[in-house]
Amino acid sequence: MASGSAVKPKADKLVRYDPSEYELRKRLPAQMPRSPDHVYINMRTDFQYQMLRAKEILFKGSNEVHIHGLGAAINRAINIALQIREHFGKAYEVDTQTNTIQVVDDFEPREEHIEPQSQTRNVSTIHIRVFKKD
């Protein structure tokens, strides 16, 4: 940003922007718990790698794995959880929670005479716990 002042996000409506005037920067959401048995699913990393990572947690002796998905990655997170359950059989159960969080998008101007803008938007999340039955 050209100036040192903070830009306040707009929450009332989504900003329409011209890509020739602004560059979109999506801020990361608030940090979720980091732990060896948590896997955060995204659309950029190879699906098979994410699946292997979740399975390895259970292969190494953990009784559960937590799979988190945000926005477009929700379907992938569900797919991974169901495939893990199918692979390990009925010895494992699945517990699912959904939520909505607010994320902030910054529109950084490409030219100095244009003011920066920000907006908040709601994004769906899913948290899946695959765990061994007692």
pLDDT digits (tens, 9 = 90+) for 84-95: 999 988 889 999
Q: How many other C-beta atoms can be found within 10 angstroms of the C-beta atom of residue 128?
A: 25
Alpha-carbon gap, residue 33 to 17, rounded angstroms: 34
Looking up tokens 């718990």, which residue turns up?
33
For residue range 92-120, list pLDDT tens digits in order: 999 999 999 999 989 888 888 888 888 99
Domain boundaries, the chain: 22-27+34-132
- CATH architecture of the domain covering 22-27+34-132: 2-Layer Sandwich (3.30)
